[in-house]
Amino acid sequence: MAKVKVKTHSGAKKRFKITGSGKVKYQHTNKRHRLTQKDTKRKRIARNAGVADSTNAPTIKKLVPYL
């Protein structure tokens, strides 16, 4: 019998990427608009990509099985 395909979660595929080592990478929030009133430190931290916690990674990987 053929293997059943799993649908990818549309919202998750836009927000997460799986790295070569299997970690889940994402971009921080609060970098889109009204940047003049936000603190420079806050914007600088948001510039870098974040890595999802190991407790949340399996759940995210189920949402994006083919990335």
Note the pTM of the prediction, 2 decimals: 0.83
pLDDT at 67 over 90: no
Q: How far is 6 from 43, CA to CA, in rounded Å?
A: 37
Give pLDDT tens digits for 7-36.
Answer: 999 999 999 999 999 999 999 999 999 999
Element at 11 (helix H, strand E): helix 10-15
Average model confidence (pLDDT) across the chain: 95
pLDDT score at 37: 97
Element at 49 (helix H, strand E): strand 49-51
Match 């995210």 to its residue by tokens. 60
With cut-offs at 50, 70 and 90, classify the pLDDT of residue 53. Answer: very high
What pairing do the DSSP bridges indicate for beta strands 49-51 and 24-27? antiparallel
